[in-house]
Amino acid sequence: MDARASFYLILPFLVLARGASAATLTFTNQCPYTVWPGTLTGGGGGQLSSTGFELASGASSTIRDVPDAWSGRVWGRTKCATDASGKFTCATADCGSGQVSCNGAGAIPPASLAEFTLAAAGSGKEDFYDISLVDGFNLPLSATPQGSGSSCSVTSCPSNVNSVCPHELAVKESDGSIVACKSACLALNQPQYCCTGAYGSPQTCPPTNYSKIFKGQCPQAYSYAYDDKTSTFTCAGGADFLVTFCPS
């Protein structure tokens, strides 16, 4: 379990019956390389119609049947390929399914995440959304409300955290290039970085030098477990969302 015991303990978790309408999630890839988005529904709810697909540089794709009261997370996998046996794997944020579809499996850290808890339009409830680097970082991304939420705030991690990743957190390829940056919790497994044990509350688990590196690059994103004040965004229920990889 990651440092936050997953985002479901931090965001209000609303897994409700699907209403009469549906939300949409649109994915756009502005990276100069192919990204393989993955999706995961939380709380035992049914998975979306697509749990993973290929998205070429410059391309967009939309999932149109997102339940209007959906809670889950999305991410982008990079440097993916199918081996001679037919097994599909990715160098970063792989979901371990062996296929392009993640089929209910989540991203293996480190992974940059966009997280959502949606509410039905007219319900009087709010959509909650955030960008999280609590599970580490693999590529920049943003979440933009659209439609009825077009006046709501964008949240984004536009910077390449890999460029400032400390060596003890870095995930490297054989040529020494850094492809992802682990969280301090994942890399060092100490309670002060994981906000566990004696550090298991906002009062006893302040930001660390490591989380400040992530926060310095992406001020709107969650940098550690109790980073709620500057990292959780809300919008009136019923918004659609655009997830952009490598936002400008």
Model pLDDT, residue 161: 98
DSSP single-letter state for residue 48: P
Which pLDDT band, with edges at 50, 70 and 90, does 21 fall under? low
Segment 160-171 mean pLDDT: 98
pTM tops 0.85, yes or no: yes
Quote the CA–CA distance of 60 and 46 in Å, as a whole number.
Answer: 24
Higher model confidence: residue 187 or residue 2? 187
Least confident of 10-14, 47-51, 153-157, 225-229: 10-14
Domain ranges, ordered by start, for the chain:
7-161+218-245
Quote the CA–CA distance of 53 and 55 in Å, as a whole number.
Answer: 7
**Contact 116/233 with Cβ under 8 angstroms?**
no
Segment 40-67 mean pLDDT: 96
**Contact 51/96 with Cβ under 8 angstroms?**
no
Segment 212-230 mean pLDDT: 96
CATH topology of domain 7-161+218-245: Thaumatin (2.60.110)
What does the angle CA 70 – CA 16 – CA 60 come to, to the nearest 5 degrees?
15
Model pLDDT, residue 150: 87
